[in-house]
């Protein structure tokens, strides 16, 4: 059992992908990180000897500090943050313990240099599902630009943004799969819940409702959101809540049905 100031890999894994996920701070030394240059989903790198610089932004929030083995560096850094009013814990077993559990890790080389992404305006399915995935599993501070389709690539070049869900880019449709699938592939995020959610997204986005019975419902909700909001960023925020609920369904409630009143005659 983890101590009062620690969290286990299993406990943290249940939080990642949800709005309650703490800030994840990877403070491994350069040498330790070079031995396995992967990050826990949503984590960001920061020097352990400058961790107090994060305190002002994290005050009153929960944070989990990750070093290689979950010992002196994360114990000390978490204690320092607690001195500044941060609800900081260290990850029991560190990055090595997380990897030993077979939990997903993102190759650092796959991460874009900037936290800015760009896609076509007036989003429907992929262009809301992808930002949700990015913010919940890749970069919680990611920002999204919605622009005219003809200008996506030019905006990406001028503003050093990563384009997605547009032909000819890395994170776009690949064969029968959609952009959401491409993100799962390249960031090594395949888990049973995310794969289950991906099937629904793919079915809705490619009009293949035979892939999952929930695909037609996701299409209907997505079209409804696009009609409800004129502002793409407002639509994205509403869509975040929708995909939070879908993820919890895919993780915890996919086998639950509903029949009331019971005992009705067919």
Rounded Cα distance, 103 and 69, in Å? 15
**What integer pLDDT is reported at residue 265 of this predicted model?**
62
Domains of the chain: 6-105 (3.40.250.10), 112-253 (no CATH)
Mean pLDDT of the chain: 96
User: 10 Å Cβ neighbour count for 50?
Assistant: 10
Q: What is the mean pLDDT of residues 157-161?
A: 98
Tracing tokens 């879908």 back to the chain, one arrives at 246
Rounded Cα distance, 72 and 108, in Å? 24
Q: What is the pLDDT of residues 2-61, one digit of tens each?
A: 778 999 999 999 999 999 999 999 999 999 999 999 999 999 999 999 999 999 999 999
- Any bridge partners for residue 66, and if so which? 26
Higher-pLDDT residue of 259 and 97 is: 97
Q: Which of 42, 140, 34 is nearest to 91 (CA)?
A: 42
Q: What is the mean pLDDT of residues 138-166?
A: 98
How would you classify the pairing of strands 106-107 and 38-39?
Answer: antiparallel
pTM for this one? 0.96
């Amino acid at each position: 059992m983890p101590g009062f100031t620690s969290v286990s890999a299993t406990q943290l894994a249940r939080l990642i992908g949800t709005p309650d996920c703490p800030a994840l701070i990877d403070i491994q030394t350069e040498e330790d990180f070079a031995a396995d240059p992967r990050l826990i989903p949503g984590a960001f790198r920061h020097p352990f000897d400058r961790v107090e610089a994060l305190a002002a932004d994290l005050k009153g929030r929960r944070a989990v500090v990750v070093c290689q083995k979950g010992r002196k560096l994360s114990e000390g850094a978490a204690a320092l943050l607690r001195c500044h009013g941060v609800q900081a814990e260290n990850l029991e077993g560190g990055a090595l313990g997380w990897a030993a559990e077979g939990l997903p890790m993102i190759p650092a080389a796959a991460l874009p240099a900037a936290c800015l992404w760009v896609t076509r305006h007036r989003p429907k399915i992929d262009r809301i599902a992808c930002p949700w995935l990015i913010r919940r599993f890749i970069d919680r501070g990611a920002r999204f630009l919605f622009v005219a389709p003809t200008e996506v690539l030019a905006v990406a070049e001028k503003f050093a943004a990563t384009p997605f869900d547009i032909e000819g880019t890395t994170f776009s449709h690949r064969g029968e799969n959609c952009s959401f699938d491409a993100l799962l592939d390249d960031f090594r995020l395949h888990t049973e819940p995310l794969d289950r959610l991906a099937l629904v997204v793919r079915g809705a986005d490619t009009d293949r409702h035979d892939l999952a019975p929930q695909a037609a419902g996701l299409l209907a909700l997505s079209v409804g959101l696009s009609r409800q909001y004129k502002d793409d960023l407002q639509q994205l925020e509403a869509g975040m809540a929708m995909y939070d609920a879908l993820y919890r369904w895919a993780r915890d409630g996919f086998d639950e049905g509903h029949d009331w009143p019971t005992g009705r005659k067919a």
